[in-house]
Structure 1
Amino acid sequence: MKRIFTVFYRLKLTALLFSVLSILMLTSMEVNAQSKQISGKVVSAEDDLPLPGVNVRIKGTTQGTITNFEGEYSIIIETGETIEFSFIGMLPKEVKVATQSVINVSLQTDVQVLDEVVKIGYGEQKKKEVSGAVAHVTSDALEAYVSGDAAQALQGQVAGVNVTTSGSPGADAVIQIRGVSTVSDVAGATEPLYVVDGIPQNENPRLAPSEIETMDILKDLASCAIYGTRGANGVILITTKKGNSGKLNVSLDASYGVKNIITDIDLMNTPQQVYFDMIKERNRGSNDFDNSTNLPIPRNPTMFQNNTNLSDVVILDNQPTQNYNIGVNGGGKGITYNLTGGYYGDQGSLINSGFSRYNGRAGIRYKQGRWDINSSIAISSEKLARSSSNLLTQTIRYAPYKPVLDPNSDEAIIDEGNPTTTNNVLESMKMEDVTHRDRMQGNISATYEIVKGLKLTSNLGVSSINEFRYRFKPFIENYDEDGILQSDPAVSYIINESARRTNLSADARLSYTKQFGDHKISGILGTSIESHTRDSFTAQKNGIIDNSIRVLNGAVLAASATSGYNYVYNIIGTLGRITYDYKSKYILSVSGNYNGNSKFASDKKWKFFPSASAAWNVSEEGFWDGFRPVVNNFKVRGSHGQVGGQSFLPYTDKATIQNGMDYPFGSGGFPTLYYGAAQQSYANGEVQWETSIQNNIGIDLGLFDNRLILTSDIYHTQKSDMLFPVQLPPSAGVGTGGDSKLTMNLGNMVNSGFELSATVKGRKKEFNWSLTGTFTKNVNEITSLNTEDFIYTTDNGLISGAGPSSKVTVFSEGYEAGAFFLYKTDGVIQSEEQLRSYQKIKPDARMGDLIYQDTNGDGQITDEDRVYMGSGFSDWESGLIVNLSWKGFDFMMHWYAAVGHMVMNGSKAMAYSEGRHADQVGTWNRANPTSEIPAWRGTTKEHDNFRGYTDMWLEDGSFLRLKNVQLGYTIPQHAIQRLGISNCRIFVSAQNPLTFTKYTGYDPESAGNGVSSRGLDKGNYPIAALYLTGFKLNF
């Protein structure tokens, strides 16, 4: 452990020295030049009207201004530098400054939107030449959001990309491209490959929005096939910000806001709870309350003094969120540099939760002659505090007539009601779970142009994540009314866990581009290698005697190494692509990757993954001239791609052994225990690659001089040999406690979908507007299983502790992966006739009980009666982004909708099970015999009326959410020029302030994000509304 942190400390010190040396070296290259003021006017070439709001920037810098209401501008610039003029819907223009003092510019309408450059695998292309399905997202779209993870901003912005977020501070955005790509339960199995500056990452790199220049999302498998096995779930190519030639430029942005959870569960108050407690005791068969001397009020005269709702204690209002970033860039002839740094802090809305991060990045580029060398290093230090996973559901259990619990107090609790419940609730409130995480990512790339058009490129990258997680469950002194200690110090504990993940990658490739008249040929050929190392160690001690001593030695019971692992796997690939382009009309591309992976057995390590795509720019044809005034761009695309998946842990082809097992030997009542070993799992050398084959057809349209841009795709993906850890029965003779699993190729699955994105923009004198909409529909179906027709997923069900039978998500032929299979109910027994009929199925049934449907008609209620009742995956999703600008003001609004998914409301289930939900005041009883709410006869574990596997908790999770609304104002340059500021924008915004839904739980969006847990709301951390103000300065 000491060695790990020593190495990382040296890496951070190296990064710091690198940054300082970069600044000293590069700023020394500044040259003196004469500054002067340039002024002028920008108009539209179409109607000669002035253009307000045009971005006027010194090329290669962040210094600039915008034109005023009359299209006029003024800027300080040095002779020899270049001014860039850019405006939405217009072609950009550059003018080099010589002796002029006035520069007037007219901008042409942009009819060449498809000429923008996008990143593809190991290269880049003009969008007009792209034959696959690629989406492009700029830094402006990302920086409009304040978040600890830039990927969260993609929600609703890119068709075909599903982003699931959580309100938990520091939680990763979970991204799925074109539906469920695998049913594997390995962490991150369904997420795309992230490639940062050409270096593959093994997980979400969690970059700050301020670090990113562009994101390019490769959606079709033909585009992803060049990455082989790593591209099975789609690819997100991230380009970070780079330096520019010219004088030193500095940017600074800051924001501060507060957040609030604006939803709640409707629980009983004290009078309602006292009334219900009497009713539920009668429903359980007790006549104790028939005697007025036994009513709760005289037994506890102070009961009505309290009206406690613990959510008021554990849910904190107006919690701060803050974000600060600084950027410095510049350079001289042949060398440029870029430095960024930032801090992000999010104090969670639930007690004991929060996230903070310090991040820094330094990059340097040398481009001279035939050489182009890039190097960068990025570091971040994070602190993540998690609230107890069952905090919200535990607080539901606490009766309102009990006194308020103080999570900051160490005083002993005297409980006259249920000391065990109080103890569990207080433990959840006081538990600590803190992770310290340090990240480092470094890379260097070099390109040498051998001859014109032929280049050799080599990349070397390393990324490392070091974590230390600390979990502490305190000892709570809890006494009953007789002064007897009810809590056991042995259940208190401290756990320390250290983990390290290191990835090394290298690639080398030749690229060639040549134009032969109307023919253009380009291609790459290369090789890549990756090595991934994981290790972890966990130690635990129980028996906390002093809650202020929070180290392992502070616990008195024997320590145990509860877990530990170390594994390495390697991936090797030979990759290639060749593209033919005839007059920008016809494009054909063929690519592939021959991959080897050490996870597989020796005879199954290697596989080839090919792809092909083609595009036809119809609008380049001569016969299109008559349509061009309306449809100026029209491209048809088609692709076929194949990729492989390897979402399982290494060493599956080998049997595993667990040491430290106790074996009793000897006869009589006191056998001797001997330490030994037991086989933990079987080897399965027959595991082979998951394979995905996808066909894609798409069109790109530009209408009315690209004022309206449409992109649409239809795809069909066939997934075969899905990898999944199948639970083995105890009779298999391996594992402990029935936890043994065997990874195997489970079956086949299909995803079919439709995507549409549209952008329309316009201008009326000083008013500019644009609308961008996206629509995504994906249909998922498991077509075959190699085992039984019905397999429970790895999720433990809706209500914790209810046993394996409480699982509700399954894999079944003909249904979505992770579909809900539930017991269907048919109301409450309200008549003697209903009772007699139902007692034939459940002989112990009583009036007021919940009726379970015997769907298979076998005269009993078993798992065979479960039926399909939807899933947690939406039927369709849509996003709408509105951008408006007038004079110096700008306005942005982003809506997102997800429709057709179902959610299992675990908070409601817990409230009903514990007899705490406000609706239960109207529960069935002798005085209310027509109630549709079942009688309370015990908790979930005691009676069938409120089991976690019924349709009682199933709700429509559809929602429409205002993700972001922002109003900004850019101060005119003449008002700030004397301060040395070239640009200043101030803004106010609100994130997630409005949600429209029928769902009655905390949040329909944060209800699980894995294949097994999608749509399961077990009291998950809800998304809060965030209200912010901030500014951005350029110097």
Structure 2
Amino acid sequence: MIKMNKSSLKRLVSVLCGFLLLSPVTFAQQTITVRGKVIDPDKQPVIGAAVIQAGTTNGAATDINGNFTLTCPAGAELEVSSIGYETVTVKAATNLTITLAETASELDESVVVGYGTQKKASLTSAIANIREEELTATKSPDMTASLQGKVPGLLIHQKSGGAGDFDTELNLRGYGEPMVVVDGVIRTAPRRGSGFGYGSYSNSSSAVLSQLNPEDIESISVLKDASASLYGIGSQNGVIVVTTKKGTIGKPNVRYSNTLSFGVPTALPDEVGLYEYMLARNEMLTNTRTTSGFFTDEELGHAKAGDRGYEGTNWHEVVMKPFSFQQNHTLSVNGGNNQTQYYLSTRFNEDQGILNGDDLGYKAFNFQGNLTTKITDHLTAVYQSSFDTNKRVGISTSNSEMNFYYYVGLAEPNQGPTVLDNPSHYSEANYEQWNPAAILDIDTMGYSKTLMFTYNNSLDIKYEAPFLKGLILDAFASFNINQRQTNLLDKAVDIYDYWSDQFVIRKGESKYSETWNKRQQLYGKLQANYSHRWGNHNFTGMFAMETRLGWNSNINASRKYGEFFTHDTIGQGLNDSTQKNGGSRSDTATAGYIARLTYDYKGKYLVELTGRYDGNYLYAPGQRWGFFPAYSIGWRVSEEPFFKNTFPWINNFKFRWSDGQTGGAQGSAYAWQLGYTASGSYVLESGTPTSGYANSSAAETIVSWNHVRMSDFGFDFEIKRGLIGGSVDWFWRNTTGIAASSIYSNKVPDFYGISLPQYNLNSSQNVGIDLQLSHRNHIADFNYRITATATFSRSRQTYIASAETATFGSHQAFYNSFSEGRWSNARNGSYYEWENGGEQFHNWAEINDYSIYTGKAVNNMIPGMYKIEDRDGNGVINSMDQYYSWGSSANAFMGGGNNPPLQFGLMIFMNYKSFDLNATFSGAGLDNKFISLSGPYGYGYFRKFYDTYVDHYRLADGYTDPFDPNSQWIEGFWPALTTANGGYNTSDNNTYRYVQPYTWINATYLRLKSLEIGYTLPRNLTGKIGIKSARMYLSGTNLLTFCNKLLKPYDPERNFGWIGGGGGAPIMKTFSLGLNLNF
């Protein structure tokens, strides 16, 4: 028993009483109501700021006055954040006033412009900027593809997916392919299969971008309006300015990244089985009253049973691997001190391609480095060097990729790639007897090998004048070499009958050729920059003079050889007339004087004046120099006091206007000089034959560059320091002085002997709108950013000199000759089609009652054909009934480009703690594609049959006569099957061969261009092994495409020439594994 004295008892009671008294107080302190206000440094309320209890989801958001109320434990840590402000942590209390410090605004970022940089807030031109993280969000060795959907106005069309093709078309605002400038130097590079045209940037700029390593890029600026005129002649389509990474101050930072990719075609038409193909072909021949070529009942039985030789050949599976493999590795290191900084990078890229041939593919190696050193306190030097070499091995050029996939489309499923009982002999495969499997065998039919080498060097010396603050003098020089060697070997191959192994024909001829191209460019520039601020007045000035010299040369030689081939050297072969050689050499020269003045008052009234006096060697003396002025103005309304007081949540609102001139290079070099060509031999009085020469054309002493005027009106806005932002631009471009022949050219009498020269006559116009809308935010540890872009552009010819004297015999000829004032899609023209209203002939009674002549006799028609409208009412369907239909694939029909009037994109970036996700969508609209039923991927050639054409008009009973009026037909979307050639020849009927609504397919599409999911390993884990950061990711490209179901087998982006016509290599859908390490 415990005994307590009086004092002990008193202490116990005191403790108990104290506990009882303190208990309510303790309970009251567990939760409190926090009332607070969040303000910025100017004591303005921060609207929508997030106030979150650390480590929980308990939180609140500030109202329009910046106030919030939150219940939480007393003393809890509260994290306060908002877009555009630094996150702060405070202790919970009943009354709080929290001030958020502003983060560096995007408006304070420097943007690379022509011959310098400017703050984003002070830009008065339509200039888009792409950050490094946005560029590398799409993992592709082709940097052009990485730009797709990310720049409003920059239209990108990936035409082919062949290894090393880099066949991507750029088009800025519908003007054409823009000039590309890399680290201050205009770069050109030859595309595969083309020459080195220095004056024609539009032929090679996309190849330059395609071969840059995205990991080496710091930023890309796209000059879309008159701001491009600083680069002079050739900048009329805009300019893409690329800035590569430089060294930084600090310890060496080593980065390694790799990507391993596996690819399959995005789309291929599905073939039916051999038995179904045989039935369909017999159906076609029956419908065309053909008497030969039928499959017999015995053959049908073998095919149905799958007997040997009748298994059916899927030629896509023959010529393609199950998947392609590609690898990309980049290793870089940068660092330095206050005196010297350096950056070194190297990359290896290999693409083995999808074609099933040994040694086919592409390999490339790149090196880039730069060194920045401070020679004195006022003198700095930057040396840059880059080296690129790549090798591409493809099939022989006699069977180019366009032809190759055409032959695949022709290859028949009832034949295998080699003779049935002799796998060493190649079969006929198709009626043209070009066997795709033989073509892929480079030991049998030859190859094309292209080796390219590029070496770039530059030295930039800057002097900051101590005697005049703000003055910087700059001397820059660069020397570039591009060299390309192409070896082409063709071999003849013996072709045999698939069943009998009997010799049929020798295809091709044996020959070898080599071509060497070399381009050298020397560029020099002297530049002075000056900036000064007087109170609220800010002034900058720039003056530069530059010159560019080029030396281009090429040599080629070829010869045939006989039965024996030993080595691929030009010294081997026949010593006869088949030996050929040639070559050319040319020199180029341009020069320019450039000036720019900018002024702003209080950062809200902005003015920029620019001018360039440009000279080009192409034209005659007196026509070589031109002055191209431009100006732009801006008004940052958001800096006005009335605006700030009324709309404090809008931190940037700016109107912009730009207008200026530039020039487009055109015509041939030295065309201003009178030229002569050999014109045979003549016997004069001496009786000795004398060679004769004659003028080929009159000298073009007047023609010069065309004049391009570019105008742009736009506005930029930003709400809540980046929560919502965007820009809208209306643009138009007028081009005058386009070189063309005079209206009198066709009236020159024959005895004159020469043609008249060209003059600056024609004119055109482009108009459009592009826009960008962005949103970014974060919720606790979850951050995201969404950016949407869209562009609509169209063009028209405003004057065509030849139209004044042209004649026409059809509406198509009329529209070709008299296109003045008619809007089409941007740049690529449009199409001509018949109209049918969607009605088909359901039976023979409707055909017999049809009174309009369709270009063939009525008895040459068949149920399922569409009824063409007789638009001119003369009772005959001919070219006069065609009408103009604007779209973008007219040139695609001829094997050219694709430029839909409407293009759009969407970028999504997200991260949560160690996880990140980014996705890019791209698409196009107001576009059409022509499906040619008479092409090898249609059903007119009928060497295959595809699932997409199963829904066609056909007899309910396949053994009845299709020409019996009593025969019953099953209706379908496509007309009844007919052949493209033969006695009946119904495909020559206008209802089959040409464009109609049912073959003119809506090609609007939306594509998930790229998707990447990454995870960054914890720092406490990687730090133990000396790795600063490690990130792993999974990515894919071209993963999903939403489009018209009729286009799904073909891919709406692919360059088919015309759908059904063969086309180039399929675009690839890739799946990649990647790793980024930072040491």
The 1:773–1:573 alpha-carbon spacing in structure 2 relative to 1, beyond 3 Å, is: same
Structure 2, gaps ≥5 residues long? 1-39, 42-48, 56-80, 88-97, 189-204, 396-400, 889-898, 955-961
1:643 paired with 2:650, answer: no
Q: Secondary structure at the match of 1:974?
A: helix
Superposed CA offset, 1:572-626 (max 9, x none):
1111111111111111111011111111222322211111101111111111222
Superposed CA offset, 1:146-172 (max 9, x none):
222323211111111111223233334
1:990 paired with 2:1036, answer: yes
Residue identity matched to 1:636:
F
Separation (CA, whole Å) in 2 of partners of 1:934 and 1:742: 53
Aligned equivalent of 2:978, options 936, 949, 957: 936
Q: Secondary structure at the match of 2:710?
A: strand
Aligned equivalent of 2:705, options 672, 689, 695: 689
Report the counterpart of residue 167 of structure 1 in structure 2.
161
Superposed CA offset, 1:376-400 (max 9, x none):
0100111123452222221111111
Report the counterpart of residue 322 of structure 2 in structure 1.
317
Aligned equivalent of 2:829, options 795, 802, 819: 819
Residue identity matched to 2:414:
Y
Superposed CA offset, 1:618-665 (max 9, x none):
111111222343211111111111111014442343566666x98899
Report the counterpart of residue 230 of structure 1 in structure 2.
234
TM-score w.r.t. length of structure 2: 0.76
Separation (CA, whole Å) in 2 of partners of 1:686 and 1:844: 57
Is contact 1:161-1:175 (8 Å) kept? no
The 1:560–1:785 alpha-carbon spacing in structure 2 relative to 1, beyond 3 Å, is: farther
| Cα drift, residue 242 of structure 1 | 0.5
Separation (CA, whole Å) in 1 of partners of 2:277 and 2:982: 19
Residue identity matched to 2:449:
V
Report the counterpart of residue 60 of structure 1 in structure 2.
none
Report the counterpart of residue 342 of structure 2 in structure 1.
337
Aligned equivalent of 2:354, options 349, 356, 364: 349
1:201 paired with 2:187, answer: yes
The 1:134–1:299 alpha-carbon spacing in structure 2 relative to 1, beyond 3 Å, is: closer
1:587 paired with 2:606, answer: yes
Separation (CA, whole Å) in 1 of partners of 2:86 and 2:469: 28
1:675-824 matches, within 5 Å, as 683-723=699-739, 745=760, 747-788=762-803, 812-813=819-820, 814-816=822-824, 817-824=827-834
The 1:944–1:153 alpha-carbon spacing in structure 2 relative to 1, beyond 3 Å, is: same
Is contact 1:964-1:990 (8 Å) kept? yes
| Cα drift, residue 440 of structure 1 | 1.2
| Cα drift, residue 369 of structure 1 | 1.3
Aligned equivalent of 1:374, options 382, 399, 420: 382
Residue identity matched to 1:459:
F
The 1:333–1:961 alpha-carbon spacing in structure 2 relative to 1, beyond 3 Å, is: same
Is contact 1:423-1:487 (8 Å) kept? no
1:112 paired with 2:105, answer: yes
The 1:745–1:565 alpha-carbon spacing in structure 2 relative to 1, beyond 3 Å, is: farther
Separation (CA, whole Å) in 2 of partners of 1:693 and 1:266: 49
Residue identity matched to 2:265:
I
1:330-729 matches, within 5 Å, as 330-351=335-356, 354-367=361-374, 368-386=376-394, 388-405=401-418, 411-413=424-426, 415=428, 420-423=432-435, 426-427=438-439, 432-450=447-465, 451-480=468-497, 485-488=503-506, 491-542=509-560, 545=563, 549-553=567-571, 555-556=573-574, 558-561=577-580, 564-654=583-673, 683-723=699-739
Structure 1 or 2, whichever has the larger Rg, is 2
Residue identity matched to 1:363:
N
| Cα drift, residue 456 of structure 1 | 1.6
Separation (CA, whole Å) in 2 of partners of 1:819 and 1:191: 16
Residue identity matched to 1:516:
W
Report the counterpart of residue 1020 of structure 1 in structure 2.
1064
Is contact 1:810-1:821 (8 Å) kept? no
Report the counterpart of residue 217 of structure 1 in structure 2.
222
Separation (CA, whole Å) in 1 of partners of 2:307 and 2:680: 53
Residue identity matched to 2:373:
Y
| Cα drift, residue 733 of structure 1 | 11
The 1:363–1:944 alpha-carbon spacing in structure 2 relative to 1, beyond 3 Å, is: same
Report the counterpart of residue 919 of structure 2 in structure 1.
893
Residue identity matched to 2:980:
G
Is contact 2:270-2:1049 (8 Å) kept? no
Separation (CA, whole Å) in 2 of partners of 1:636 and 1:302: 75
The 1:111–1:490 alpha-carbon spacing in structure 2 relative to 1, beyond 3 Å, is: closer
| Cα drift, residue 402 of structure 1 | 0.7
Is contact 2:318-2:437 (8 Å) kept? no
Q: Secondary structure at the match of 2:314?
A: coil
The 1:815–1:617 alpha-carbon spacing in structure 2 relative to 1, beyond 3 Å, is: closer
The 1:490–1:176 alpha-carbon spacing in structure 2 relative to 1, beyond 3 Å, is: closer
Report the counterpart of residue 150 of structure 2 in structure 1.
157
The 1:516–1:418 alpha-carbon spacing in structure 2 relative to 1, beyond 3 Å, is: closer
Report the counterpart of residue 25 of structure 1 in structure 2.
none
1:31-180 matches, within 5 Å, as 89-90=83-84, 108-110=101-103, 112-165=105-158, 166-172=160-166, 174=168, 176=170, 178-180=172-174
Aligned equivalent of 1:879, options 897, 905, 908: 905
1:914 paired with 2:941, answer: yes
The 1:113–1:180 alpha-carbon spacing in structure 2 relative to 1, beyond 3 Å, is: closer
Residue identity matched to 2:339:
G
Separation (CA, whole Å) in 2 of partners of 1:768 and 1:617: 29
How much identity, in percent, do the aligned residues show?
23
The 1:857–1:268 alpha-carbon spacing in structure 2 relative to 1, beyond 3 Å, is: farther
Separation (CA, whole Å) in 1 of partners of 2:588 and 2:1061: 35
Separation (CA, whole Å) in 1 of partners of 2:104 and 2:338: 34
Report the counterpart of residue 248 of structure 2 in structure 1.
244
Separation (CA, whole Å) in 2 of partners of 1:513 and 1:475: 69
Report the counterpart of residue 198 of structure 2 in structure 1.
none
Q: Secondary structure at the match of 2:125?
A: coil
Q: Secondary structure at the match of 2:980?
A: coil
Separation (CA, whole Å) in 1 of partners of 2:932 and 2:745: 28
Separation (CA, whole Å) in 2 of partners of 1:732 and 1:496: 42
Residue identity matched to 1:412:
H
Residue identity matched to 1:357:
A
| Cα drift, residue 329 of structure 1 | 1.4
- Range that drifts further, 533-542 or 614-623: 533-542
| Cα drift, residue 411 of structure 1 | 3.1
The 1:950–1:890 alpha-carbon spacing in structure 2 relative to 1, beyond 3 Å, is: same
Is contact 2:935-2:1061 (8 Å) kept? no
The 1:449–1:542 alpha-carbon spacing in structure 2 relative to 1, beyond 3 Å, is: same
Residue identity matched to 2:910:
L
The 1:528–1:638 alpha-carbon spacing in structure 2 relative to 1, beyond 3 Å, is: same
Is contact 1:935-1:945 (8 Å) kept? no
Superposed CA offset, 1:510-563 (max 9, x none):
221111121111111121112233332333334563577444455547435476
Residue identity matched to 1:129:
S
- Range that drifts further, 156-165 or 841-850: 841-850
Superposed CA offset, 1:271-315 (max 9, x none):
123223333433443345899789777999968623111111223
Separation (CA, whole Å) in 2 of partners of 1:548 and 1:348: 28
Separation (CA, whole Å) in 1 of partners of 2:982 and 2:220: 47
- Range that drifts further, 589-598 or 397-406: 397-406
The 1:391–1:446 alpha-carbon spacing in structure 2 relative to 1, beyond 3 Å, is: same
| Cα drift, residue 841 of structure 1 | 4.5
Structure 1, gaps ≥5 residues long? 1-43, 53-86, 94-104, 182-189, 666-671, 735-739, 793-804
The 1:599–1:1034 alpha-carbon spacing in structure 2 relative to 1, beyond 3 Å, is: same
Aligned equivalent of 1:837, options 832, 839, 851: 851
Separation (CA, whole Å) in 1 of partners of 2:927 and 2:674: 40
